[in-house]
Amino acid sequence: MPGPVGKPLRRIDARGKVTGETRFADDLSLPGMLHMKLARSTVPHARILGVDLAAAWAADGVRAVLTGADFPVPFGILPVSQDEHALCTDKVRFVGDPVAAVVAVDELSAEEAARLVEVRYELLATIASPEEALSTREPRIHEYGDGGNVHKAVAFDFGDVPAALAGAEQVFEDLFFYQGNTHLALEQHATLAYVDPDGLLTIASCTQTPHYLHRAAAKVLGLPANRIRVLAPPQGGGFGGKTDPFNHEIVAAKAALLTGRPVKIALTREEVFLCHRGRHPVLMRMRTGVDREGRMLGHSVETLLDGGAYGSYGVASTFYTGALETVTYRMDRYRFRGCRTFTNKPPCGPKRGHGTPQPRFGLEIHIDKICEKLGRDPAEWRIANAIAPRSLTANWLEVGTTGLVRCLEAVVAASGWKARFRNLGPGRGLGIASSAYMCGAGLPIYFNEMPHSGVQLLLDRGGGVTAFCGSTEVGQGSDNVLALLVAEVLGLSPSDVKVVTGDTSLAPVDLGSYSSRVTLMMGNAAVEAATRARERLAEAASAHLEIPIERVGFAEGRVFDVGDPSRGVTFAEAVARAETAGGTVGTVGSYRPPAPRARFKGGGVGPSPAYSFSAAVVEVEVDPTTGVVRVEKVWVAHDIGRALNPVAVRGQVEGSVYMGLGEALMEEQAFRRLPPRLSGALVHQAPSMLDYKSPTTLDMPEVETILIEDPDPNGPFGAKEVGQGPLLPIPPAVANAVYDAVRVRVDESPVTPEKVLAALRAPSRRTGPTSFPAVTWPEALRISPPWEGGDGTAAKVKP
């Protein structure tokens, strides 16, 4: 096949990245630019009694000082959680909440003046954990939610799980805890806001979701959206950390309007830790009833999330701690309870795998324990119980292609599993896990029936092709996917296609780089736009070559007669002929995912046009005297549907493995209380890269990557996602390998030496949570699984 699909070509944006010419947000500057710094709360929970700005105003070089009074309108990423103010109005909710902003002629002056802002607080009780949130109804961190300091509580019964457990051969129960951690993208957030000479407010920022920032800025600033342009330059990593509209972005925009000058803010690393929106810490209780063969008759999951101080994506995160539990193994009935609490800590949100790695960690260890008890090989159990392709799950998710069994078979073969599992000798072990992830959310974040992605193509008579799309290049390679797919359809090379992305004025809306949606959704829109352009060119070429339109072929920059490839024209000539025949050649394409099958409230979280699958085997060596876990090797297989660029896909898989290992072994967003003489405030334990441990070259093992191709009819050229799914099996596979090595269970991430040693010394041979607090669950929605009748709607009755 002559096209670029499947070829290991250099990314179109690679040159700029290796020469240093790629302009990230903080590389932008403008003449007359002012600098902004935020004055942040030093206390975790307090009412603001007054803000004294006199000293800040009087400082050298200060041009503007803003407070919450400038931002009466709240915002937030989800329509149901509009609970943030660009600067705090009446309350602060965590150490780091911004109270005032100072704009000055240079960064140092802004920083020094920001320190002169004086805030008088009336301290309120600090809510430090979900347990405290549940037991402390007052003071409330927010005046909305599901009562007290519960942000959101949800309950679903897909069939009668208690009855299934009562009839089960054996019932297993486990408690797990997955620690919070942060994205740690190497690029710190930065924003440059300015009013362009035409009067258009322009916000150039590190954002994975320029469309949502556009909406939030319009709302808070009270401007029509068409007077605002959001630019998302290429980003130095996102991983979900740049997916919310942020207070500093909106404040910089307001400051640019007030001063009439460009205003820039670049956050420090400590401030990035405070922005957070990272992985929620989640406590989990899982119960499963199995029959004699080990088949799951009923499975129950309860999750308790530590949400931090604001809503962020939290409602969606809560649903995601239950939504994809059903997408790997057959389970007859499923019960889910999820509760997110507010606490006085930086807000949690979406990080790579959004809400899914936590229950996946629990489920995969839970299954390892079930297999151990039943005397079943855990790889063989997974293969025997894998979900069928083209099936509905207990919670009404429609699954299409499934490469799960092939992923498992591939890592079992590559790792020598059958001969080596339970057989490596003391201190060495193998662990296995598998997982599923979605290729984009079935529903947008705010209700609308418009496309999730649009692509516009402009073909010029010189043979140039420009693809416009609001998609956002965060490092994953979405710009390259756009160029590659357009090139494939038009018989060009990706480097022939110029892309214009991350620009709300120049490009049609794409919802953003989140939920692994871009390759599938932007890709389908690109293929549609390119196919329409191809039709225009084919029509003109067919007339010129005097052949039927079906005989017009496109390859290697030529448009030709497939019956006699020597007869043809250059691509540029074909464009010129199409332009002559029918006017300017511009086409559009768009994509909207199919409607979900679920028809119950909350059923909008989980549906996706396609699901990817992954499996991993991890080999570890555990030192029983120190508890240190060393990962020797990882074998990972990912069901990609179709690899559009195998080098780029491999990078996404291995990067996911890397991030999963970091979460499994060392990364934690932890907090501590300062001693009473230092205010007693709840503060971040490690807001620096030195203290927040992440894997270096010396920690990273060899990874063997295997791709499973089974093209999915819903993906462009069969492609599915790869950015998030391969992370999911890694943390539980590490924990399962530790068990194989030293026969102890660490039911809590990260699997640190301290926890391994504690487990080795414990009579239970386990470390992990020992209780799940009482949660007042709402009345459950009862939905019959597809095989028990019903149509995906809920019958609301007393539980």
Identify residues 635-694 at the interface with other proteins (CB under 8 A): 637, 642-643, 646-651, 653-655, 657-659, 688-690, 694
For residue 197, whether the previous peptide bond is cis, meaning omega lies within 30 degrees of 0, is no
Residue 688: C-alpha distances to residues 108, 275, 623, 668, 669 (Å): 21, 13, 28, 12, 11
Smallest distance, other proteins to C-beta of residue 612, A: 15
CA distance 674 to 684: 10
Alpha helical stretches, state H, 197-348: 210-221, 247-259, 269-275, 314-323
Smallest distance, other proteins to C-beta of residue 616, A: 13
Smallest distance, other proteins to C-beta of residue 125, A: 34
Smallest distance, other proteins to C-beta of residue 8, A: 5
Judged by CB under 8 A, the residue of 4, 346, 400, 477 near other proteins is 477
User: Are 249 and 489 within 8 A, CB to CB?
Assistant: no
Task: Return the residues of window 410-429 that contact other proteins according to CB under 8 A.
Answer: 410, 414
Judged by CB under 8 A, the residue of 234, 355, 400, 785 near other proteins is 234
Smallest distance, other proteins to C-beta of residue 620, A: 17
CA distance 522 to 535: 20
Smallest distance, other proteins to C-beta of residue 716, A: 5
Of 369 and 650, which CB lies nearer to other proteins in the complex structure?
650
23 binds other proteins (CB under 8 A): yes
Of 385 and 401, which CB lies nearer to other proteins in the complex structure?
401
User: Are 199 and 219 within 8 A, CB to CB?
Assistant: no
> Taking the mean position of all CA atoms in its chain, how far away is CA 642?
21
Of 292 and 390, which CB lies nearer to other proteins in the complex structure?
390
CA distance 653 to 634: 11
Task: Return the residues of window 263-322 that contact other proteins according to CB under 8 A.
Answer: 268-269
Of 4-12, 42-50, 355-363, 503-511: span binding other proteins (CB under 8 A): 4-12
Judged by CB under 8 A, the residue of 566, 697, 770, 771 near other proteins is 697
Task: Return the residues of window 92-121 that contact other proteins according to CB under 8 A.
Answer: 108
Task: Return the residues of window 340-399 that contact other proteins according to CB under 8 A.
Answer: none
Of 474 and 737, which CB lies nearer to other proteins in the complex structure?
474
> Taking the mean position of all CA atoms in its chain, how far away is CA 183?
10
Smallest distance, other proteins to C-beta of residue 456, A: 18
CB atoms within 10 A of CB 422: 11
Instruction: Using the structure block, give the residue that is written with the tokens 């291995």.
Output: 654
**What b-and-e string marks burial along 50-86, b requiring 16 or more CB atoms within 10 Å of the CB?**
ebebeebeebebbbbbbbbebbeeebbbbeebbbbbb
User: Are 67 and 51 within 8 A, CB to CB?
Assistant: yes
- Structure token digits, residue 681: 């405030």
461 binds other proteins (CB under 8 A): no
Judged by CB under 8 A, the residue of 70, 97, 187, 740 near other proteins is 187
703 binds other proteins (CB under 8 A): yes
632 binds other proteins (CB under 8 A): no
Adjacent-strand bridge partners of 795:
782
239 binds other proteins (CB under 8 A): yes
Smallest distance, other proteins to C-beta of residue 273, A: 11
8 binds other proteins (CB under 8 A): yes
Judged by CB under 8 A, the residue of 15, 227, 601, 765 near other proteins is 15
- Structure token digits, residue 190: 């930065």
CA distance 395 to 404: 19
Please report, as a single letter, which amino acid is at residue 378: P
Residue 213: C-alpha distances to residues 28, 38, 346, 740 (Å): 19, 19, 20, 47
CA distance 100 to 677: 26
CA distance 213 to 208: 9
588 binds other proteins (CB under 8 A): no
Burial of 259 (0-12, 13-18, 19+ CB in 10 A): middle
Q: How many residues of this chain bind other proteins (CB under 8 A)?
A: 88
Judged by CB under 8 A, the residue of 65, 717, 747, 748 near other proteins is 717
73 binds other proteins (CB under 8 A): no
Smallest distance, other proteins to C-beta of residue 61, A: 13
57 binds other proteins (CB under 8 A): no
573 binds other proteins (CB under 8 A): no
Secondary structure class of 315 (helix, strand, coil): helix
Judged by CB under 8 A, the residue of 74, 237, 557, 778 near other proteins is 237
27 binds other proteins (CB under 8 A): yes
Of 101 and 185, which CB lies nearer to other proteins in the complex structure?
185
Spatial strand order in the sheet of 552-555: 552-555, 558-561, 564-570
Of 691 and 791, which CB lies nearer to other proteins in the complex structure?
691
711 binds other proteins (CB under 8 A): yes
Smallest distance, other proteins to C-beta of residue 106, A: 8
31 binds other proteins (CB under 8 A): no
Judged by CB under 8 A, the residue of 204, 323, 474, 521 near other proteins is 474
Of 580 and 688, which CB lies nearer to other proteins in the complex structure?
688
Smallest distance, other proteins to C-beta of residue 320, A: 22
184 binds other proteins (CB under 8 A): yes
DSSP string across 747-790: -BSS--HHHHHHHHHSTTSEES--------PPPPEE---GGGS-
Beta-strand ranges (E) seen in 327-405 are 331-341, 391-392, 398-399
CA distance 556 to 554: 7
Secondary structure class of 90 (helix, strand, coil): coil
Of 270 and 779, which CB lies nearer to other proteins in the complex structure?
270
CA angle, 630 then 632 then 636, to 5°? 120
Smallest distance, other proteins to C-beta of residue 219, A: 30
Task: Return the residues of window 481-540 that contact other proteins according to CB under 8 A.
Answer: 488-489, 523-524, 527-528, 531
475 binds other proteins (CB under 8 A): yes
Task: Return the residues of window 122-161 that contact other proteins according to CB under 8 A.
Answer: none
Judged by CB under 8 A, the residue of 131, 160, 621, 710 near other proteins is 710
CA distance 510 to 519: 11
620 binds other proteins (CB under 8 A): no
Q: Which of 798, 797, 794, 775 is nearest to 158 (CA)?
A: 794
DSSP string across 687-723: -STTTS----TTT--EEEEEEE----TTSGGG----S
**What b-and-e string marks burial along 130-143, b requiring 16 or more CB atoms within 10 Å of the CB?**
bbbbbebeeebbee
Of 111 and 160, which CB lies nearer to other proteins in the complex structure?
111
Judged by CB under 8 A, the residue of 363, 708, 742, 744 near other proteins is 708
Task: Return the residues of window 720-749 that contact other proteins according to CB under 8 A.
Answer: none
Smallest distance, other proteins to C-beta of residue 520, A: 9
236 binds other proteins (CB under 8 A): yes
Of 1-9, 65-73, 383-391, 549-557: span binding other proteins (CB under 8 A): 1-9
Of 460 and 654, which CB lies nearer to other proteins in the complex structure?
654
Of 150 and 648, which CB lies nearer to other proteins in the complex structure?
648
Smallest distance, other proteins to C-beta of residue 601, A: 29
617 binds other proteins (CB under 8 A): no
Of 367 and 521, which CB lies nearer to other proteins in the complex structure?
521
